[in-house]
Amino acid sequence: MSDETNPPEADAEAAEPGPEPKRGRGQPTKLTPAVADKVVEGLKVGLSPELASERAGITRRTYARWKAKGERDDEADVDSDERDFCHRIAGARAEFAYDACDWLKKARDIPSKETNAPTVTFMLERRYREDYGRSESVELTGKGGGPVQVQTLEDAIALSNGAGAASPDDEPGA
């Protein structure tokens, strides 16, 4: 009950807070500090996101969902467990790449038979293709550097039989 010393607003503030807002439908999230730590540890040693997720007991799809939500929350400047997870996995991947590059830098002074530099290079090229992958391209040209001639199977058969090219109205096998 209120009196002059305790206005009604004070009674409402003193009341116990209501239940926590619900997260939504479905099961509670598996994004716990322990699960996040396991994923991050795996990424720090060079595991792929799929293997780091498996090691932590979650699916690749769950990892991708948490990462996507974290990126959206980061874009909207919303604090969330997923945003923190997203920052931590980015840091873990960067830490692995840094450690690998640092190791390669130190390996320059070691005779090549005593180092695993090709293995480390291979891991960087595969894990971070955009940054460290080889960029090779193949260009195909036709006779005399011109365009490549493309034929349909029907045209090739007709030419091999000496009948000339088939017209678009010809039905195969007719």
Q: Are 154 and 174 in contact (CB under 8 A)?
A: no
CB atoms under 10 Å from CB of 94, counted, come to 13
Q: Are 117 and 107 in contact (CB under 8 A)?
A: yes
pLDDT for 12 beyond 50: no
Q: Please list, in sequence order, all residues whose beta carbon lies within 8 angstroms of the beta carbon of residue 39, skipping any fewer than 6 positions away.
A: 49, 52, 53, 55, 56, 58, 63, 85, 89, 92
Q: Which residue has the higher pLDDT, 52 or 127?
A: 52
pLDDT for 141 beyond 70: yes
CA 145 to each of CA 139, 142, 149, 151, 172: distance values in angstroms, whole numbers, following the listed order = 10, 5, 11, 18, 32
> Residue for token digits 């996507």?
68
Q: What is the pTM of this model?
A: 0.57
pLDDT for 108 beyond 90: no
Distance CA 53, CA 43 (A): 9
pLDDT for 173 beyond 50: yes
Segments making up each domain of the chain, as ranges: 29-132
Distance CA 116, CA 127 (A): 17
pLDDT digits (tens, 9 = 90+) for 51-88: 999 999 999 999 999 999 999 999 999 999 999 999 99
Q: Which residue has the higher pLDDT, 54 or 20?
A: 54
Mean pLDDT estimate for the chain: 80
Distance CA 63, CA 42 (A): 13
Alpha carbon 102 to chain centroid, angstroms: 24
Q: Which residue has the higher pLDDT, 73 or 109?
A: 73
Closest CA to 89 of 129, 124, 38: 38
